Amino acid sequence: MTTTSESTPTPSTATAPGQNGGGAAAARPIEVVRVLVPKRSFRSELRAIKIVWRREMIRFVNDRMRIVTSLVQPFLFLFVLGGGLQTLVRAGTHGVDLKTFIYPGILCMTVMFTAMFSAASIVWDREFGFLREMMVAPVRRSSIVIGKCLGGATVAALQGVIVLAIAGLVHVPYNLELILGVLGLQLLLAFTITAFGLAVAIRIKQMQSFMGVMQMIVMPMYFISGAMFPANGLPGWLTVLNRIDPLAYAVDPMRRLVFSKLNISPIARHVLDPGLTWWGWHVPALLEAGVVLALGVALLGVAIWEFSTTE
Amino acid sequence: MIRNLYAMADSNQPAISVSGLTKRYGDLEAVKDVSFEVGAAEVFGFLGPNGAGKSTTINMLCTLTKPSAGEARVAGHDIVTERDDVRRNIGLVFQDPTLDGYLTAAQNLKLHAELYGVPSELVAPRMEQVLRMVGLWDRKDGPVRTFSGGMRRRLEIARGLMHSPRVLFLDEPTIGLDPQTRRSIWSYIRELQEREEITIFMTTHYMDEAEWCDRIAIMDQGEIVALDSPETLKAGIGTDRITIQTDDNDAAMLALRERFGVEPQILEGAVSFGVAGGEQFVPRLFAELDLPIRGVSVSRPTLDDVFMSFTGSTIRDAEEDPSKMRNRVMMQMMGGGGRR
């Protein structure tokens, strides 16, 4: 080796002495693998997004405890609350099991809480320093946020699939159209909630504060959304809150989808699945999904902007 | 010696050049008008007490913090306008750990390689190489959370090298490690520098570690107060201490006074005196002193002496000085300026 000039490094190999495995001088000539890091390109950004996404997957698969614990709450709501209140509300549900009624809401709930936890991982990453490793990489900050968001959405949707699998227990048929539709809606909701969680999490430095903020925002959002009750005939103030709650636009199409495959009386359908209205106009399911998507994209934009402006 | 030749061969193209770099946090100047150059394949040490501005300087050079004034080029690229080019060419090992404990060592390195765009066909061979170098190849599939502090630090160094950076920044690479691990980290660093011809820029507040560097800059209160090789800096203190054992101390002292013009004294039964360039002096001593010498020792001034002569206090005192502590706390409060 005669030169140190590295101004045009190439992926070449050179021989150097002094390789050793454990610190002792076991002289064995080895190849020095040199790496040329290419200029930033669209492809390198895609690679960055993919690896950030894959990290979320690896961590999800490794963390079986989390898979189990995040199912506790939805199952508690579904079977304990749903089963327990059944006797009280029997008259009002026109023969439909209360568990069946709240099932679409539970599908949303699972996704929502898992997505929030996924977004929280950015707070952990900051606390444990790993965020720094990603921040200093020669990639766009937006690639990291997009990778995180897609990763969180995938994880949340996977959790949702587990809840989807128990449909039979609450008298919902396993219908292909229904399953695909629910999957699509879950993915969409997971994406939006993860984006929202990220937009909040990026500004928050400590896990405890994040959890506090989440409790303050997520629980009210969930209750107001109509996941546990039909969204018509509510008191005026609650109707207003319900219509501006973005989660309502995920819960409603989910319920319409599930109810469309149920064999129930027209009166039960009318009472339990009234659909969302804007000043008396029935909002189509596709528009509702569009609202969720638009919101998700906007929140992702906010998260990217925030992430790019933090040092 | 070879090292120095490398440095000289490329001295026209410094790995790092800094001029007038300044960082202010409000009224506090954390780094004041700092200028220096680091040659290619040099091991350059930044020395100073906590809160002296070392980490702030390193953060600016790594493009993590924007300077308030002045400019710097790293690996030929401007740290403000060519941020990405700088980042592609540098490796970073932070003071605080930045590994994902839930991933294995190999997964951590793979993630790094993907983020830095290392060509896929080179990821596996390069990973094997860097892991072997730090002696973690057989632990590559172990989850990082099971690793000891020393192993983690070694893994971080390996990761910082995955993309063959031209400059490796190490912020306090040995802090909090036991002496044995510290020594082994240093032998990796030296081996690395020789094998990969990489420029190493590191900060430390361990005086003994600075001896491993080709050149060191001593930083105190945001300013560089001295910059040279450890030998030159110590030589700048002036005198080495030579101690000789003779059968007749009085005669030896007389002869030393008359022939060499030094002022000897008796220390613990031996004749001791200070002289510039102690090693060159010893042959003269043997040739010209007409007395049998039974033993001789030359002791150099330490970097602690150097630090003392430039800052007026030892590094430990400087850290314990409450006014400086206050600065440090203030810096950390203001957006974590000390470390982030």
CB contact under 8 A, A18 and B99: no
What is the tally of structural domains in chain A?
Answer: 1
- Does A196 reside within a domain? yes
Structural contact between residues B209 and B202, judged by C-beta atoms closer than 8 angstroms: no
* Whether residue A285 has pLDDT greater than 80: yes
Instruction: Please give the Cα distance from B198 to B212 (Å, whole number).
Output: 15
Q: What is the pLDDT of residue B312?
A: 65
- Does A175 reside within a domain? yes
* Whether residue A11 has pLDDT greater than 60: no
Mean pLDDT (whole number) for A35-40: 73
- Does A129 reside within a domain? yes
- Does A23 reside within a domain? no
Q: What is the pLDDT of residue B314?
A: 62
A29 against B95, higher pLDDT: B95
Residue from the list A11, A39, A128 with its beta carbon closest to the beta carbon of B122: A11
Residue from the list A9, A134, A311 with its beta carbon closest to the beta carbon of B65: A311
* Whether residue B323 has pLDDT greater than 70: no
Q: What is the pLDDT of residue B316?
A: 60
Return the amino acid letter for A177.
E
- Tokens matching residue B87: 């980042």
- Could you state, in order of their start, the residue ranges of all structural domains in chain B? 2-89+165-233+307-333, 239-299
A293 against B285, higher pLDDT: A293
SS3 A74: helix
Q: What's the pTM?
A: 0.76
Class of the CATH-defined domain B239-299: alpha beta
SS3 B18: strand
Q: Is the dihedral of CA A108, A109, A114, A120 positive or negative?
A: positive
Residue B202: strand pairing partners:
B45, B170
Minimal CA separation from B188 to chain A, in Å: 8
* Whether residue B84 has pLDDT greater than 80: yes
* A contact test, residue of B115, B164, B190, B334 with most A CBs within 10 A: B115
Percent of chain A with pLDDT over 90: 23
Which of left, alpha, beta for B312 (phi over 0: left; psi -120 to 50: alpha)? left
- Tokens matching residue A268: 């039960």
Instruction: Band the pLDDT of B113: cuts 50, 70, 90.
Output: very high
Instruction: Band the pLDDT of B19: cuts 50, 70, 90.
Output: very high
Instruction: Band the pLDDT of B6: cuts 50, 70, 90.
Output: very low
| Block residue for tokens 């390069």 | B126
Instruction: Please give the Cα distance from B156 to A132 (Å, whole number).
Output: 13
Q: What is the pLDDT of residue B319?
A: 59
φ/ψ of B169, rounded to 5, equals -100, 130
* Mean of pLDDT over chain B: 81
Tell me: the pLDDT tens digits for B190-245?
A: 887 788 788 999 888 777 778 888 999 988 888 898 898 888 888 777 777 788 88
| Block residue for tokens 């898979």 | A67
Minimal CA separation from B200 to chain A, in Å: 13
Instruction: Please give the Cα distance from B123 to B103 (Å, whole number).
Output: 17
Any chain A CB within 8 A of the CB of B114? yes
* Mean of pLDDT over chain A: 82
* A contact test, residue of B90, B111, B169 with most A CBs within 10 A: B111
CB contact under 8 A, A138 and B100: no
Tell me: the pLDDT tens digits for A192-222?
A: 999 999 998 888 888 888 888 888 888 899 8
- Tokens matching residue A207: 């896990």
Any chain A CB within 8 A of the CB of B272? no
* Whether residue A103 has pLDDT greater than 60: yes
- Does A10 reside within a domain? no
Q: What is the pLDDT of residue A31?
A: 57
**Closest alpha carbon within chain B to A6:** B166
Instruction: Band the pLDDT of A305: cuts 50, 70, 90.
Output: very high
Mean pLDDT (whole number) for B74-100: 89
* Whether residue B295 has pLDDT greater than 80: yes
* Fold annotation for B2-89+165-233+307-333: Rossmann fold (3.40.50)
The 8-class DSSP code of residue B290 comes to -
Q: What is the pLDDT of residue A26?
A: 40
* Whether residue A27 has pLDDT greater than 70: no
Minimal CA separation from B56 to chain A, in Å: 13
Q: Is the dihedral of CA B135, B141, B143, B146 positive or negative?
A: negative
The 8-class DSSP code of residue A204 comes to -
Instruction: Please give the Cα distance from A256 to B137 (Å, whole number).
Output: 55
Cα B245 to chain centroid distance, Å, stands at 36
Instruction: Band the pLDDT of A298: cuts 50, 70, 90.
Output: very high
Percent of chain B with pLDDT over 90: 25
Instruction: Using the CB atoms, write b or e for A16-38: b if 16+ within 10 Å.
Output: beebbeeeeeeeeebebbbbbbe
* Whether residue B54 has pLDDT greater than 50: yes
| Least confident interval from A163-177, A240-254, B308-322 | B308-322
Instruction: Please give the Cα distance from B339 to B331 (Å, whole number).
Output: 9
Residue from the list B10, B111, B119 with its beta carbon closest to the beta carbon of A4: B10
* B contact test, residue of A34, A37, A205 with most B CBs within 10 A: A37
Residue from the list A7, A33, A37 with its beta carbon closest to the beta carbon of B117: A37
Minimal CA separation from A305 to chain B, in Å: 17
CB contact under 8 A, A51 and B129: no
Range of the domain at A217: 40-309
**Alpha-carbon distance values, A105 to A50, A66, A86, A113, A251 (Å):** 31, 21, 16, 12, 6
Contacting residues of A for B187, CB less than 8 Å apart: 23
Structural contact between residues A231 and A242, judged by C-beta atoms closer than 8 angstroms: yes
- Does A164 reside within a domain? yes
User: Considering only residues 129 to 168 of chain B, which have any Cβ-Cβ distance to chain A shorter than 8 Å?
Assistant: 129, 132-133, 135, 137, 162-164, 166
Q: What is the pLDDT of residue B70?
A: 92
Q: Maximum Cα–Cα distance for chain A, whole Å?
A: 90
Instruction: Band the pLDDT of A81: cuts 50, 70, 90.
Output: confident
Any chain A CB within 8 A of the CB of B118? yes
Contacting residues of B for A5, CB less than 8 Å apart: 10, 13, 40
**Alpha-carbon distance values, B178 to A54, B81, B148, B151 (Å):** 35, 40, 11, 12
φ/ψ of B72, rounded to 5, equals -155, 145
A24 against B39, higher pLDDT: B39
Residue B218: strand pairing partners:
B47, B226
ipTM, 2 decimals?
Answer: 0.78
